[in-house]
Structure 1
Amino acid sequence: MTASLDDVARAQRARRTSFNEASARTRLELMLDAGSLVEFIGPEQREVSPHLRIFDLPEQFDDGIVVGHARLEGSPVFVAAQEGRFMGGAFGEVHGAKLTGLLRAAREIGSIPVLILFDTGGVRLQEANAGELAIAEIMRAVMEARTAGAKVIGLIGGRSGCYGGGGLIAGCCSALAVSEPGRIAVSGPEVIETNRGVEEFDSRDRALVWRTMGGKHRRLLGAADVFADDTVQDFREAALELIGLVGAFGPDRLKAEHERLAGRLRRFGTCKDAVDIWTAEGVADAETVPDLPADRFIALADRIGRTSRDAR
């Protein structure tokens, strides 16, 4: 009875806790089964970046990512959670190596799902070459793990979004869950504006940023498979749903993904704004989509039915 009451209290706390505002460790604490997380290369091992001190920048003893194994609803999972509060969750040499190692472990076992809680602005400028190499290694490791039979689920709802190399890695995952605060893109708003001009993309127009890169648009476009409300409990439920839905990976699925992306380009390639895409999808009053509460938006997304589960 005591354990049951503890579980209820824990679920209630997870339901009250914003995924967006929580730290990486709080997200894992409330998402996973109580006391089940066993961390690999934890803070006590002091595996810090060898590069940051050269630039007189602060270090963090887990280098901004928590990796380990745990249980979710009684079943084993590998987990990785980026800490967006440390250097924007950016990838460096140690940060990347921890995620690569976790994925290689999943590849060797082949049957345990991997949850990646993305919260990243991309590669650390101070570790550019090492960070870019880490992204390439992680993408390869994701595909090797999937080929070996492991499901790799990305969860995106952190403050830093999922940008740069993180966006590329997310595109390699078996499936994605995203919340409204979550954003997914390879190039961030400021990067696009700097390289193409404000006429191409005004990074100060926050409404434009969110309707172009935000979770609602990504879900309606089929770039994310599940839309979650901004609570840790909702992301836990989304992770369980996706683990149960994802199928086997192979050449046929990869070919289907290529065909889906080509079809998306044909259908929406001339659209100038996300609102145009939503209108083409048959959404009535498309301009009101950003204001929809989570439950109404989920109902809308389910009705439209665009999803990438049949591909990826």
Structure 2
Amino acid sequence: MSTVTLDNAKVERQPLVSTDSWYEASARQRVEGLLDANSFVEFIGPEMREISPHLALFDLPEQFDDGMVVGLGRIDGAPVLVAAQEGRFMGGAFGEVHGAKLKGLLRAARDMASMPVLILFDTGGVRLQEANAGELAIAEIMRALMEARFAGVPVVGLVGGRSGCYGGGGLIAGSCSALAVSEQGRISVSGPEVIETNRGVEEFDSKDRALVWRTMGGKHRRLIGGAEVFADDTIESFRNAARYLIELAPAPTLDTLEAEQARLAQRIHDFGDCADALDIWRSLGASEPETIPALSYEAFVALADRLQEPRHDAR
């Protein structure tokens, strides 16, 4: 067992099994790989057993960190606050304790106004078993996030986990200063099954994996300006993206907000008649849009730099 320190804080933990894949890694493995070696200090860790007060009522398993890892670490020696969702526990879904840990971290960032925040998204949305508490947590997190940004704190989101970034997680991601996404990452407010259930299979076939990935996947989000950086599925690639986006992240001024609104209005004008992501990619200038899903990381990055929907703000 190793002991790590950061300033006056100390915590002991077992060493983690290493993995290169961000998609395959656990929340704790992502945090360990993202930060400088032995620099992470966890707040409200599993030893404190802050578990959901609701899951036992439904005879559901509990987890001592409630699927949310929060703490303080360093990247290249500079301090950062980190929150990582565990997609392997209830799909990373938001509940009362899960959400409160992220909200508390963002409020601390607001009050200190001196450290960037990294949010490692891996969530299917809100827990149905904690629907009211989860929905309230989403609203409180978004408010805390924007307060932190207005205090001058960059809040960077990283998306590439098994559960994607759906529901309230998609709303929180959209509130971040900047996003990095891998091909495996998916971002959407409504998930494929939710759309199909409410609008029918003719509207969206949730079993059509190619449709799901080209509509909600990382490549599409990068091309339409929903993410600033496209990362490879490696922890090192996400670390490089985080370092870059911390420096890039713009302040939420009136000018940037108005420019973003103008971009969204232009999107309706440009893509309003498109029935599929393939049509959007073709409108952006892709001569063979059907080949984009199969492109390698390097080939897609080169294409995206040329085709990405133009932004009209300071980014």
Question: Under TM normalisation by the shorter chain, which class is it?
Answer: over 0.9
1:163 to 161, 166, 183: 166
What pairs with 1:234-253 in structure 2 (closer than 5 Å)? 234-253=237-256
* Aligned partners of 2:177 and 2:251 also within 8 Å: no
In the alignment, which residue of structure 2 is the partner of 1:8? none
Whether the 8 Å contact between 2:255 and 2:313 is mirrored in structure 1 is no
Question: Could you tell me which residue of structure 2 aligns to residue 187 of structure 1?
Answer: 190
> Which one scores higher on RCO, CA 8 angstroms, separation ≥ 6?
1
Q: Does 1:197 align with 2:200?
A: yes
> Residue 212 of structure 1: which of 183, 193, 215 is its match?
215
| Structure 2 residue corresponding to 1:153, chosen from 149, 153, 156 | 156
- Using the TM superposition, give the Cα deviation of residue 270 of structure 1 relative to its aligned residue in structure 2, in angstroms: 1.2
Cα distance change of structure 1 residues 30 and 74 upon mapping to structure 2, 3 Å threshold: same
Which of 282, 296, 301 aligns to 1:298? It is: 301
Report the AA paired with residue 116 of structure 1: I
Structure 2: segments with no counterpart, 5+ residues: 1-15
Q: Give how far 1:111 is off.
A: 2.4
Q: Measure, in 2, the Cα distance between the counterparts of 1:283 and 1:311.
A: 25
- In the alignment, structure 1 residue 177 sits paired with structure 2 residue 186: no
TM-score (norm 1): 0.93
Shift of 1:101: 0.3
Q: Distance in 1 between matches of 2:274 and 2:145?
A: 32
3-state SS of paired residue (2:187): coil
Q: Determine the structure 1 residue equivalent to 2:98.
A: 95
Secondary structure at the counterpart of residue 266 of structure 1: helix
Q: Sequence identity, in percent?
A: 72
Report which stretch shifted further, 104-113 or 143-152: 104-113
The alignment of Structure 1 onto Structure 2 pairs a total of residues equal to: 300
Match of 1:132 among 124, 135, 138: 135
TM-superposition CA deviations, 1:77-115 (whole Å, max 9, x none)? 000000000000000000000000000011011121100
Shift of 1:302: 1.0
Alpha-carbon distance in 2 for matches of 1:19, 1:110: 29
Q: Cα RMSD over matched residues?
A: 1.6
SS of 1:224's equivalent in the other structure is: coil
Report the CA distance shift for 1:15/1:256 in structure 2 as closer, same or farther (over 3 A). Answer: farther
Kindly provide the amino acid, as one letter, of the partner of residue 211 in structure 1.
R
Higher alpha-carbon deviation: 198-207 or 251-260: 251-260
- The aligned residue for residue 123 of structure 1 is 126
Residue 69 of structure 2 is aligned to residue 66 of structure 1: yes
Deviations 1:116-161 (A, max 9, x none): 0000000000000000000000010110000000000000000000
Instruction: Report what 1:283 is aligned to.
Output: 286
Structure 2 residue 300 is matched with structure 1 residue 270: no
Distance 1:260 1:113 in 2: 26
Tell me what 2:260 maps to.
257
Q: TM-score, normalised by structure 2?
A: 0.93
Q: Secondary structure at the match of 1:121?
A: coil
Contact 1:14 1:233 in 2 (8 A): no
Cα distance in 2 between the residues matched to 1:60 and 1:131: 16
2:231 to 228, 231, 243: 228
Given that 1:107 and 1:148 are in contact with CA atoms closer than 8 Å, whether structure 2 keeps it comes out as yes
- What's the offset of the Cα at 1:309? 8.4
Q: Deviations over 1:203-238 (max 9, x none)?
A: 000000000000000000101110000000000000
Tell me how far 1:305 sits from its aligned partner.
4.2
Mapped partners of 1:309, 1:207: distance in 2: 30
- Report the secondary structure of 1:150's partner residue: coil
My pick for the range that moved more, 241-250 or 153-162, is 241-250
